[in-house]
Amino acid sequence: MAARNRRGRPRRRPFLGADTDAARQSLVALLLSALTAVVAGVILAAITGTLEELPGLLLLIPAAIALRGNIFGALGSRLGTSIHAGTFSLTRRLDTTVGQNIVAAAGLSLVMSVVIAVLAKGVAIAFAITPAMSLADFVIVSGVGGIVASAAVGVITLALAAGSVRWGWDLDNVTAPLVTAAGDVVTIPALLVGTWLTRRGDLSVVVATMLAVAAIAAAAGLARTALPLVRRIVQESVPVLAAAGLLDLIAGITVQKRQDEFLSFEALLILLPGYLGAAGALGGILSSRLATGFHLGLRAPSPLPGRDARRDLFSVFVLALPVFAVLALAADLAANLGGFSTPGLGRMLGVALLAGALATIFVVLVAYYGTIAAVRLGLDPDTYGIPLVTASLDFVGAFTLIFAIVIWGLT
């Protein structure tokens, strides 16, 4: 029978059922992520001169930001599952679950940063992005930026895991948005550090060569390691990270070829990292929760979502509206305070809400069926879910944002 209050009337069910606390945690994390991402957007708007001096840099930025979220978002998702399963413990030993996850994430970050740089140069050539940075400059910006950003985001991810154990957070609800926020804020300044070493003749060639050699050595070490979990994570991650990188670079092409529009209204540059990050974080939350449910046998990977899965899907739509609205408000306010050009609050809200609604529909489909596909293929949905969602969202998100910009007449 339904629970009743003191007057004998049936208690009213919370709007999101038993997941109200989870939704509240997610909303706080998403809003914090959106506001933090505005800082990254302001930095991006402030380096328009660098974007013009280093053609192809705007192509690289979405992929570089996404790579941090893909690697460390997946790390957080795996740690969240280990917390739910009772196998999580912080220790200096590398042969533990946490230790092997850290080794895999660090190695993948270095290797894939260099791989993304090579892919970026290839994509620039294939899609006739001319002029474009040299291969050495791509490797330096991506490699140095990857090392600096990964160190910071890795520490934040571990701190979140430890905090979730200490204060009872559900890591599935906070990892994706907060790791995304950390990746947004840290990666763009880290890439800027890398740009300081470009265009320096022989020095740039030496630095690029050292990074390439270090990545090759790291790849060889990961392939020959005796740590079984590291081998599994790397084997499952490399294909999806490479595919995600290509999708992110194609998204970057969309942005790069619309660079004039973004430079005309710098508020759109401020909006860009937060918009892509918020959409990916919404999908990451859904993917993480589904992966944990499948691991623990609480949800069945069926073509039609069950009751609990439908509640998870519905909560994403409920969370999306305030997040995209706040993001637009914050981006417009930051543009006005910083003296950057803006199309006005009304059109900023229109762009963010239209693009966000389209992206949310897409991310729900990708997160649910992508996670199911991983489970049915015997793969770890924690490793595959977040990269698949964020890469797809960067690709589709760039198009939906451009579509909304065109609909609102900002071209």
297-333 confidence digits (pLDDT tens): 777 777 888 777 788 888 888 889 999 999 999 999 9
Instruction: Return the pLDDT at 255.
Output: 83
Of residues 365 and 173, the one with the higher pLDDT is 365
Q: How many CB atoms within 10 Å of residue 148?
A: 18
What mean pLDDT is reported for the chain? 83
Mean pLDDT value across residues 397-405: 89
99, pLDDT greater than 80: yes
Instruction: Return the pLDDT at 4.
Output: 47
Secondary-structure breakdown of the chain: helix, strand, coil percentages, each rounded to the nearest 5: 80, 0, 20
Instruction: Return the pLDDT at 33.
Output: 79
One-letter amino acid for residue 225 of the chain? T
Peptide bond into 343 cis (omega under 30): no
Asked which of 95-109, 112-126, 130-144, 236-250 is least confident by mean pLDDT, the reply is 236-250
Instruction: Return the pLDDT at 1.
Output: 41
Mean pLDDT value across residues 16-45: 77
Instruction: Return the pLDDT at 382.
Output: 67
Contacts of 238 (CB under 8 A, 6+ apart): 108, 111, 112
Instruction: Return the pLDDT at 337.
Output: 94
Q: Give 233-256 pLDDT, tens digit per residue.
A: 999 889 888 888 888 888 888 888
Whole-angstrom distance, CA of residue 98 vs CA of residue 316: 29
Instruction: Return the pLDDT at 176.
Output: 64
Instruction: Say whether 4 sits in a helix, a strand or coil.
Output: strand
Distance of CA 190 to the CA centre of its chain: 16
Of residues 112 and 35, the one with the higher pLDDT is 112
8-state DSSP, 175: H
One-letter amino acid for residue 238 of the chain? V
Instruction: Return the pLDDT at 121.
Output: 94
Q: Give 36-95 pLDDT, tens digit per residue.
A: 888 888 988 888 888 888 888 888 988 888 888 788 878 887 887 777 777 777 777 888
Q: Give 141-200 pLDDT, tens digit per residue.
A: 999 999 999 999 999 888 888 877 778 776 666 766 777 678 778 888 899 999 999 988
Instruction: Return the pLDDT at 274.
Output: 84
pTM score, two decimals?
A: 0.75
The residues spanned by each domain of the chain are 26-407
401, pLDDT greater than 50: yes
2, pLDDT greater than 60: no
Of residues 295 and 339, the one with the higher pLDDT is 339
Residue 311 — left, alpha, or beta (φ > 0 → left; ψ -120 to 50 → alpha)? alpha
Q: DSSP secondary structure string, 330-354? A: HHHHHHHHHT-----HHHHHHHHHH
